[in-house]
Structure 1
Amino acid sequence: MNSSVLLSGVPHPKVLDALGKLSKKIDLSRGEMRSLMKKIMTGDLSVAQVAAIIIALRVKGETVEEIVGAVEIMRELVTEVNLGSDEIVDLCGTGGDGASTFNISTAAMFVVAGAGLKVAKHGGRAVSSASGSADLLEGFGVNINLSSIEVRDCVESTGIGFMFAPNHHPAMKHVAPVRRDLGVRTIFNVLGPLTNPARAKRQLMGIFDKGLLRPLAEVLKTLGSEHVLLVHSENGLDEIALDGKTFFAELKEGKITEGIITPENFGCDGSVSGDSLESIKIENLEQSKNLVLESLSSNPGNAQRIVALNSAAALYVGGAAPTLKEGFVKAMETIKSGVAREKLDNFVKYTSTIQKN
């Protein structure tokens, strides 16, 4: 603990000032948030102080400038993966939607890679869900503990790289216990998707709260993203919905548009098999693995459909398809041909040859 910040348990005056403002629901400037975030992420604050700050931010409501300031510090402290190209796409979500669905975006990355794009996915273990992306990949036999250079080589060899969050955000150790003990959504739920270690500028990003779509699009615009589609379905998923409406904010060429998409926008009819949401829910890792394999098989069903819809959107933002409809056609071709499943198998095989750290 830094003694210049904590004197006999008394926080630094700047921390007190920030807490005072937040308690009065006064927004912090980008610079103030950067300063505060740096103290949090370097372990200069006590657990109680960190908890007070992130809860005060949650109660007040985080602004675009506050989130930008926080992301900038997170990006400064990240262990980067240099892929030597901006031609990569990320599929990610904030989580926290409480729906307990299988790992849709993780399954979709095999489709997207199979269709020819390079994917750099950033993820971790489950916190509140039954299976996180890291848990799922390990369940298939993937070695997730790769160095930055090994991730780079993996992308070059397989078209896919998985960046296990704890390996690339060591500073998160200072807030992990607080987040776990609080057990509520905080600013850190949105910081993960905004701090991809490979600096992906093209993303399909699922958001747990419809009200965050526009603000996070503004954040990404400020930070220099190229093409991002942020989505939240009307049934609460941080994914593109299997049926019904999905609300979106799209950042493209510096402009932000908002609207609603449905399966019809993908050239897909609105009918699904049985209870659409219940059919993609899971209770454990094995169920998630089974649905992922089902989604990558040639057998039609709700799992395949939702993965294809989300893959289509990723192909669109990644530049592999000019429209969502063409993205959906390409996604279905990649699935039905078996190429997506081959990508999964090749990814498992390649990473398993790397000695575990």
Structure 2
Amino acid sequence: MSRVFRDLLKKVGSGSHTSTDLSREEAAIATRMMLKEEATPVQIGAFMIAHRIKRPTPVELAGMLDCYDSLGPQLALITADYPVTIFNSPYDGRTRTAPVSPITALTLAAAGAPAILHGGDRMPTKLGLPLIEVWQGLGLAWERLTLTQVQQVLETTGLGFVYLPHHFPTAQAMVPYRDQIGKRPPFATVELMWSPYPSSAHNSHLVSGFVHPPTEDRTQITFQLRQTPFFTTVKGLEGSCDLARSRTAIIGLGQLRNGELNFERLLLHPRDYGFEGADPDLLSLPELTDTFQVILQGKPGPLMTSVVWNAGFYLWRCGATPTIEAGFKQAENLLQAGAVRAKLAEVRGAIADCAPQTDLLTAH
């Protein structure tokens, strides 16, 4: 048993009237001791439940993210015309709506705006469709690559995916606890804010999905504490970065200027741009893959409309187009001209060209 960890656990687990918040340094220490499994399984499970009940503060989340930065994989900076967009979505996947972020990311990459996603396999408690299975359906075997190879693919194609089981095994070791405690721990919130690409770099654009407004508030303050220069918060489908078409998109636009956070609220109404409609239902993976192939051929359809709605917004947000309307037009043109399909083939080829390696580069 770790007595150091026990003291930290006592702070967050003493009840609603006597519990106290951790400092940023203490939160980083507690996170490190859990990820390195220096705390016992009982201590780790108790901390996860207690911290969930108490609710992590932005200061604590900043400390947890500090630890993720020190222990987790970090891709190197790349040169690009536009900021590298990192899409942060819940790791436990989708159960109701079809994810369009992989095609959105491919569209951004086809426009010269790099994109990175990250996640793992099917994960408790939701056990929804994870992004890795969508990529596999499209023929992209990210799970085969080392972190060095992901870096190589990102540099040559503008697209990357960090796969938790191989690239961040210390965080992957926490996944069984989610099943055992039956609830999302604060780590699930950290995953919505963490970036495997240097988030303090001025050529990064961090996108964080959320469901509940308090999560967005904590995200905004946490990013300010960590001096995250350029970020977007999205009340997306199932907490993802996917903009809904069935309701107004609630978006936060954050940017640091001279150390001060400029945060603006954007309410994006689909009907104002001709995109109003039902959100796409989740299909079986074979059906979803077939639908994506139709989209990549530039053919119209409900899912195509959702892709243009999303890709157009993010093209504008990362500066690839001067207006949102121009973003929608460029996204549609890239899909219809076959540029996104060609980008998928390019990424598939880049992954295939990576020599098989068994020595996985997982962390610093």
TM-score bracket, normalised by the shorter chain, equals: 0.7 to 0.9
Q: 1:92 to 1:297 in 2, by over 3 A?
A: farther
Matches within 5 A, 1:1-357: 5=2, 12-20=6-14, 24-85=18-79, 87-94=83-90, 99-127=95-123, 128-144=126-142, 145-200=144-199, 201-233=204-236, 238=240, 239-253=242-256, 254-264=261-271, 268-272=273-277, 276-277=278-279, 279-282=280-283, 284-356=284-356, 357=358
Q: Which moved more, 1:60-69 or 1:188-197?
A: 188-197
Task: For 1:241, give the aligned amino acid.
Answer: A
> Structure 1, unaligned stretches of length 5 or more?
none
Aligned mates of 1:270, 1:342 — CA distance in 2: 26
**CA deviation string 1:302-342 (max 9, x = no partner):** 21121222212322332212332222222111111111111
Aligned-CA RMSD value: 2.5
Q: Which moved more, 1:48-57 or 1:119-128?
A: 119-128
Q: 1:245 to 1:237 in 2, by over 3 A?
A: farther
Aligned mates of 1:349, 1:149 — CA distance in 2: 16
Give me the TM-score of the superposition, normalised by structure 2.
0.85
Aligned mates of 1:347, 1:23 — CA distance in 2: 53
Q: Which moved more, 1:67-76 or 1:202-211?
A: 202-211
Q: Which moved more, 1:316-325 or 1:345-354?
A: 316-325
- SS of 1:150 mapped into structure 2: helix
Residues 298 and 337 in structure 1, CA contact (< 8 A), matched pair in contact too: yes
Aligned mates of 1:21, 1:70 — CA distance in 2: 21
- SS of 1:205 mapped into structure 2: strand
Aligned mates of 1:23, 1:133 — CA distance in 2: 40
**CA deviation string 1:233-289 (max 9, x = no partner):** 4x7553211232121222123311224222246xx21443xxx13x4322x321331
- SS of 2:192 mapped into structure 1: helix
- SS of 1:53 mapped into structure 2: helix
The Cα of 1:99 is off from its aligned counterpart by 4.4
The count of residues paired between Structure 1 and Structure 2 equals 343
Aligned mates of 1:262, 1:114 — CA distance in 2: 26
**CA deviation string 1:152-207 (max 9, x = no partner):** 21122212122112233222144121013233222122222322222243033322
Residues 105 and 115 in structure 2, CA contact (< 8 A), matched pair in contact too: yes
Aligned mates of 2:5, 2:225 — CA distance in 1: 31
- SS of 2:263 mapped into structure 1: strand
Q: Which residue of 1 aligns with 2:361?
A: none
Aligned mates of 2:217, 2:322 — CA distance in 1: 23
Give me the TM-score of the superposition, normalised by structure 1.
0.86
Task: For 1:151, give the aligned amino acid.
Answer: V
Residues 206 and 230 in structure 1, CA contact (< 8 A), matched pair in contact too: yes
- SS of 2:14 mapped into structure 1: helix
Q: 1:142 to 1:327 in 2, by over 3 A?
A: same
Aligned mates of 1:121, 1:218 — CA distance in 2: 23
The Cα of 1:18 is off from its aligned counterpart by 4.0
Aligned mates of 2:206, 2:306 — CA distance in 1: 17
Residues 158 and 346 in structure 1, CA contact (< 8 A), matched pair in contact too: yes
Q: 1:293 to 1:38 in 2, by over 3 A?
A: same
Q: 1:169 to 1:227 in 2, by over 3 A?
A: same
Q: Which moved more, 1:13-22 or 1:100-109?
A: 13-22
Residues 245 and 261 in structure 1, CA contact (< 8 A), matched pair in contact too: yes
Residues 65 and 194 in structure 2, CA contact (< 8 A), matched pair in contact too: yes
Q: 1:25 to 1:297 in 2, by over 3 A?
A: farther
Aligned mates of 1:174, 1:130 — CA distance in 2: 19
Aligned mates of 1:41, 1:129 — CA distance in 2: 22
- SS of 1:20 mapped into structure 2: coil
> Structure 2, unaligned stretches of length 5 or more?
359-364
Q: 1:159 to 1:13 in 2, by over 3 A?
A: closer
Aligned mates of 2:107, 2:154 — CA distance in 1: 15
Task: For 1:252, give the aligned amino acid.
Answer: Q
Aligned mates of 1:98, 1:170 — CA distance in 2: 23
Task: For 2:190, give the aligned amino acid.
Answer: L
Q: 1:41 to 1:158 in 2, by over 3 A?
A: same
Aligned mates of 1:13, 1:170 — CA distance in 2: 26
- SS of 1:76 mapped into structure 2: helix
